[in-house]
Structure 1
Amino acid sequence: MSAEKISILIADDHKLIRETWTFILNSDARFKVIAECSNGDDAIEIAKAQRPNIVLMDINMSPTTGIEATQQIRKVSPATKIIGVSMHSQPAYAKKMLSIGARGYVTKNSSREEMIKAILEVHGGNKYICDEVKNIISEQLLEENQAPSINLLSEREIQIIRLIKQGSSSKEISTELNISLKTVEVHRHNILKKLNLKNTASLVNFINNSAIDLV
């Protein structure tokens, strides 16, 4: 006796995409596309009536978006697992979908193999984020971990940072170091640029959290 097929609803406002995925998935003995629709409202009604195992949810539909439809389907058919599908590879979209109850996220650049893997993983109780989004998240984490180095600063810039840490204003720094106010401002600008910081607040935060003793 063969295992029961995984039932799938495809919600996407592009007819060609719906037809393509229906053909691909129905060609695989493990899956059965039980319905397809072009908007979020229909997706909610079909999910409520047919309780599919999986919904492939285009997040960019209108007027009811895939995000709104996901929230509603989670209420009317809690056992249905939703995979967000989008042209957007920004991690923020994936995080949003997962935060409202979706179990997976793939982009429209994903391969057939990756979509099938996502369906099987999510159906099996796991979460799945496609490689494209995971790679961007990894790159962002690497950039965040590349902490600005104090070694990039000149001796004069280190002096200025010490005085900023002590709470001195630009005017007080110019008096202390016997340099013009304009020169102090130029140094402060260069310090921010070298340390890849946006403003004085982030500089103060960097100084206070720095493992290097600047006093």
Structure 2
Amino acid sequence: MAEKIRIILVDDHKLVTEGWTALLSLDENLSVVGTANSAEAALDLCLSLLPDVVLMDVNLHNSNGMDATEMICNRIAKIKVIGLSLHDDIAIVKSLMSKGARGYLSKNSSRAELIHAINSVMSGSIYLGENIRDKLFNETFVAKNEDSIKELTLKEIEIVKGIANGLTSKQMAENLFVSVRTIETHRHNILKKLKLQNAAQLSSWSRDHGYF
């Protein structure tokens, strides 16, 4: 049996840490090994327990979640920090990621998405919540490529998201209830509209624009 993913929770509201602990403990692959309510306590706990993942409240009242993230990532590179906040301000997201975080989620996210984010960062990926990805898309893509985005259909945008998340044409076809051939046609049209040469460039473009 594979070892459980060891997690530390950092939040200054006891009800929040207790709630997260209860939710995550329902998954047999996860184990909450400690909780902290400040940047200093979080770093001390990380140094002593060496967890795999830290779920970090960005808006700690008595200290700074940004500073805590930077301290942890600088001292223990193997730890994956996922920021959580009630806010989805892109500036905050970018700042946290620049401190070394591997993910960012809204506190309004579902348990399923939180667990998916944990598994994603453990596999080496960067994970941003769907609402964050949409905002980042609007900021970096819509603003700079207004004419192109007007040409993309909603279906094509869904396919771009699927490609960014590593889905095959068959998987996207099943999710969108269309044929594989339809997906391939959409991919061809997307490449043409975005003036890209191949699927590799499209995957790179998707990552660059926040669809991790």
CA gap of 1:76–1:143, structure 2 versus 1, over 3 A, is closer
Task: Confirm whether residue 146 of structure 1 aligns to residue 165 of structure 2.
Answer: no
* CA RMSD, 1 decimal: 1.3
1:101 alignment counterpart: 100
1:213 alignment counterpart: none
1:81-100 superposed matches below 5 A: 81-100=80-99
CA deviation profile, 1:85-130 (whole Å, cap 9, x unmatched): 1111111111111111100000112111111110000011110000
Residues in 1 aligned to 2:46 and 2:104: alpha-carbon distance in whole angstroms:
19
Q: Tell me how far 1:59 sits from its aligned partner.
A: 0.8
User: Larger Cα Rg: Structure 1 or Structure 2?
Assistant: 1
Residues in 2 aligned to 1:75 and 1:135: alpha-carbon distance in whole angstroms:
29
2:74 alignment counterpart: 75
CA deviation profile, 1:24-59 (whole Å, cap 9, x unmatched): 111110000000111111101100111100000001
Q: Tell me how far 1:135 sits from its aligned partner.
A: 1.0
Task: Confirm whether residue 30 of structure 1 aligns to residue 29 of structure 2.
Answer: yes
The amino acid across from 1:99 in the alignment is: S
Task: Confirm whether residue 112 of structure 1 aligns to residue 111 of structure 2.
Answer: yes
CA deviation profile, 1:135-169 (whole Å, cap 9, x unmatched): 1122233244337xxxxxxxxxxxxxxxxxxxxxx
Residues in 1 aligned to 2:47 and 2:143: alpha-carbon distance in whole angstroms:
43
8 Å CA contact 1:40–1:62 kept in 2: the answer is: no
TM-score by length of 2: 0.66
Structure 2: 5+ residue stretches without partners: 148-212
2:162 alignment counterpart: none
1:37-76 superposed matches below 5 A: 37-76=36-75
1:4 alignment counterpart: 3
Residues in 1 aligned to 2:143 and 2:63: alpha-carbon distance in whole angstroms:
36
8 Å CA contact 1:10–1:55 kept in 2: the answer is: yes
1:156-175 superposed matches below 5 A: none
- Give the match's secondary structure for 1:10: strand
The amino acid across from 1:15 in the alignment is: K
Give the number of aligned pairs.
Answer: 146
1:128 alignment counterpart: 127
Q: Tell me how far 1:80 sits from its aligned partner.
A: 0.8
- Give the match's secondary structure for 1:3: coil
The amino acid across from 2:74 in the alignment is: K
Q: Which structure is higher in RCO with an 8 Å CA cutoff and minimum separation 6?
A: 2
The amino acid across from 2:77 in the alignment is: P
Question: Percent identity between the aligned chains?
Answer: 36
The amino acid across from 2:5 in the alignment is: I
